[in-house]
Structure 1
Amino acid sequence: MKKILFVCVLFLSFACSEEKKQTVEASCGQCQFGLTSQDGCDLAVRFDGKAYFVDGADIDDFGDAHDKGTGFCEVVRKAEVTGKLEGDRFQVSSMKMLD
């Protein structure tokens, strides 16, 4: 019985840690999502009602963060991302803007 339980726990841990592709809102964590755990303007994503700072992409990778029409500090944009949550941060391996 212990072996079965161990295999189930092991399987669930791998299933939860795998990267997946999803559509999210992307913007500045401080300016648009109200995150306060770090200073300055930093890229964040929001899904399932919660926002997370991003590792693996920078806020200026998709243009000037302060551009009035498309900058992450000014607007919330839609993005398709592949990645996973690690703690309270989203580890992104790919990110494509949808708008």
Structure 2
Amino acid sequence: MKTVLFAFVLEMASFAAQGQQTSKPTVPDPAKKIQVVDAACGECQFGMEGKSCDLAIMINGKSYFVDGTSIDEHGDAHAKDGFCNRIRKAEVQGEVVNGRFKASYFRLLGDKKKKISKK
């Protein structure tokens, strides 16, 4: 019985692992407009209401929390040049849905490291 249970748990774990996204394309969609925006911690830099430090962007003077990438995917938010201490420029693609920016591409400008993009 233990063998059957172990096999079942192992099988479920393999299904869960296969469902994980392993890589994200780093190339923007050429059919969509790339916008250059201000990016920072919404709470610390843009004065947005929230429970913790979260990535946000500002488009035309209005700030939006970002879905599709997180503040932690772009380094230490509390470092000297981190999002909680500094507003940075980023290239983005996506759309505002229900008051949040749904990013399909996000890349910090002046930063050579890989950033997120997903389709």
For Structure 1 versus Structure 2, the TM-score category normalised by the shorter chain is 0.7 to 0.9
Identify the residue that residue 73 of structure 2 maps to in structure 1. Answer: 61
| Aligned pairs (5 A) from 1:51-90 | 51-68=63-80, 70-90=81-101
Q: Partners of 2:70 and 2:40 in 1: how far apart?
A: 11
Structure 1, gaps ≥5 residues long: 1-17
Q: Partners of 1:32 and 1:48 in 2: how far apart?
A: 16
TM-score by length of 1: 0.76
- The yes-or-no answer on 1:50 pairing with 2:49 is no
The sequence identity of aligned pairs, in percent, is 51
Runs of 4+ in 1 over 2 A off after TM superposition: none
Structure 1 or 2: more strand by fraction: 1
Structure with bigger gyration radius:
2
The letter of the residue matching 2:79 is D
Q: Partners of 1:96 and 1:58 in 2: how far apart?
A: 12
1:6-51 per-position Cα deviation (integer Å, ceiling 9, x unaligned)? xxxxxxxxxxxx9532000000000000001x21000000010000
Structure 2, gaps ≥5 residues long: 1-30, 111-119
**What count of residue pairs does the alignment treat as equivalent?**
80
Q: Partners of 1:55 and 1:66 in 2: how far apart?
A: 20
| Structure 1 vs Structure 2 CA RMSD | 1.4
